Amino acid sequence: MPGTAICNSVIQVAPNAWRLGELIICERVGTGPVNGAAITTWRDDEGILWYLRRGRKSDSRYYPNGRFAVPYHKSGTSGAIWKLGGMFVKVKSWGEGMDPESDTLKLIYESCPGVPVPRVVAHWVDMDTQRSFLILRPLRGQILLHAWPSLSPELRQYVANQIADVCEILAKHTATYMGSAANPLNGCRDQYLCPDRPVSIPSWKPISLPRIDEWNGQEYFDPFQIGRTFNLYHPELEPTNIVVTSDGRVTGILDWERAGYFPRCWISTKPQIADEFLLDAGPGVPDVTEWQWRLATTLEERGFIPEREEWEEFRGRISGTVSTAVSFAKYFPAETDEAEDNEVPDVPDVPDIPDVPDVRMDEVGEPSRLNAHDPHQVWY
C-alpha cells in the first residue's frame, strides 16, 4: 500500500471485514461472539457488534485484490474519512516530526474540561503507509458551515460566544515557547505564520516553524508582537470544524492536529485573515464573512487584541522566503552553531503523554514492535 492514494486506505477484504492500512481489520460480527484477539469492540445504532483486530494473511481470502471503500469525506490529498459501524475512521498522512492528532485530543480531553472534543475509540500510526488512523465516535449535529443558513442571528452569536469560551479555556494554559500542544520539541504548524513551502516538501506534508521562544522569534515575526508567554489555541476554528445542533449548541470541535501554543494576539487575528473562516455563499448567507467578524469581534471583547496590520506587514516581508534550514538560520539562532552562546529559557512542565509502541504485522501475521502508537492504547 505505500505510495497509494490516501483515499485507498480502507479496503474491503471480505463481506464483513475491512482492512485499515496494513495493520488492522475492522470486522462486523452481528451478535457475536467476538474474536479473542479483539482490540476493542462497539455496537452500532442497530445493535450490531463490531470490533478491531490485527490483520492476518488469510484476511484476503474472499477478495484477493480487495475492494476500495468509498470515503465519506476527502480532504485534498492528505486526509479522508470513512464511516464504518457507525464510527468515523479518520486517516491522515503522517511523517516524522508530526504529532498524531490523538495525542492532542488526549491532552485537551484531560486538561481542558468544558472543551467539546470528539471521543476516540482507538488510534494508531501505520508506519508502513505513513498514515495515522483515528476511530472516532460520531457527534450530534452538523458542521456549522451547513447549519449557518438556518440559524437566527441570535443563535449565530450564541455559537460565537461558545467558541470564545473555548478559546478562553484553552488560553489559560500557557508556555514560554511557541510550539506544538502535544510535544514541546516540535514547532507550530500554521501556514499563515510560515514561509512559503519549498518544492522539496510534498503538498500533503505540513510545514512548521522551529520551536520558538521570545528570545529567538521576535526578529522573525517583527512587527507582529509575539510576547514572552504563549497561549494554547486551536488555530482552525473554521465553520467546517465546528459541530452544532439546530438550537446552536456546540457539540464538538474537529481537527486538533495543529493546536499549539501561539502568541495571544494570534487568537483574534487568525479569524480575520484566514480564508478558511469564510462561509459558502448561497441562500441564507448574504455575508460570507459573518463568521469571521462575529468570532473576531467576540474574542476582542474578551480581551484578545488582534494585530492584523502588523501581521500583514510581517507576511509581506517573509513572502517568497522558502522554509529551509538556511533561511531559518537568519532568524532562529537555535538552528545554528550560534545557539551555544544564547541562554535558553527553561521549558515549562506540560502534561505527560506516555510513549506506547506501535504494532506492525510481518509476513506471517505476527506482531513486531516499532516506535509509534499501539491500538491497544484505547481511551474514552
User: Per-residue pLDDT tens for 95-137?
Assistant: 777 788 999 999 999 999 999 999 999 999 988 888 999 999 9
Question: Is residue 378's pLDDT more than 50?
Answer: no
In angstroms, rounded to a whole number, what is the distance separating the alpha carbons of residues 355 and 351?
A: 13
Q: What is the mean pLDDT of the chain?
A: 81
Reading phi first (left if > 0) and then psi (alpha if -120 to 50, else beta), residue 268 is in: alpha
The predicted structure's pLDDT at residue 303: 96
What CATH number does the domain containing 319 carry? 3.90.1200
Are residues 149 and 126 located together in one domain of the fold? no
DSSP 285: B
Q: What is the pLDDT of residues 146-169, one digit of tens each?
A: 999 999 999 999 999 999 999 999
196: its cell numbers: 512559503
Q: What are phi and psi of 57, to 5 degrees?
A: -60, -30
Instruction: State the residue range of the domain holding 134.
Output: 6-138+355-372
Are residues 285 and 217 located together in one domain of the fold? yes
Are residues 304 and 196 located together in one domain of the fold? yes
Question: Is residue 1's pLDDT more than 70?
Answer: no
The predicted structure's pLDDT at residue 330: 58
Are residues 131 and 158 located together in one domain of the fold? no
Are residues 275 and 164 located together in one domain of the fold? yes
Q: What is the pLDDT of residues 253-297, one digit of tens each?
A: 999 989 999 999 999 999 999 999 999 999 999 999 999 999 999
Identify any residues that bridge with 54 across adjacent strands, giving them in sequence order. Answer: 24
Q: What is the pLDDT of residues 319-340, one digit of tens each?
A: 766 554 445 555 555 443 333 3
Structural domain contains residue 189: yes
Are residues 359 and 242 located together in one domain of the fold? no
331: its cell numbers: 532568524
Distances (CA, A) of 350 to 15, 196, 355: 46, 30, 15
Structural domain contains residue 174: yes
Element spanning 74, H or E: strand 73-75
Question: Is residue 68's pLDDT more than 60?
Answer: yes
Name the residue among 265, 280, 197 with its Cα closest to residue 235.
265
Question: Is residue 46's pLDDT more than 70?
Answer: yes
Are residues 11 and 134 located together in one domain of the fold? yes
Structural domain contains residue 350: no
Reading phi first (left if > 0) and then psi (alpha if -120 to 50, else beta), residue 282 is in: left
**Average pLDDT, stretch 67-80?**
85
Are residues 261 and 280 located together in one domain of the fold? yes
**Burial of 284 per CB tally in 10 Å (0-12, 13-18, 19+):** exposed
Are residues 120 and 146 located together in one domain of the fold? no
**Average pLDDT, stretch 73-77?**
81
Name the residue among 217, 168, 222 with its Cα closest to residue 188.
217
Question: Is residue 208's pLDDT more than 60?
Answer: yes
Question: Is residue 377's pLDDT more than 90?
Answer: no
Identify any residues that bridge with 123 across adjacent strands, giving them in sequence order. Answer: 134
Q: What is the pLDDT of residues 348-366, one digit of tens each?
A: 343 333 333 343 332 223 3
Are residues 218 and 173 located together in one domain of the fold? yes
Structural domain contains residue 264: yes
Are residues 107 and 176 located together in one domain of the fold? no
Are residues 24 and 84 located together in one domain of the fold? yes
pTM of the model: 0.82
DSSP 361: E
Domain count along the chain: 2
Comparison of pLDDT for 191 and 160, the residue scoring more: 160
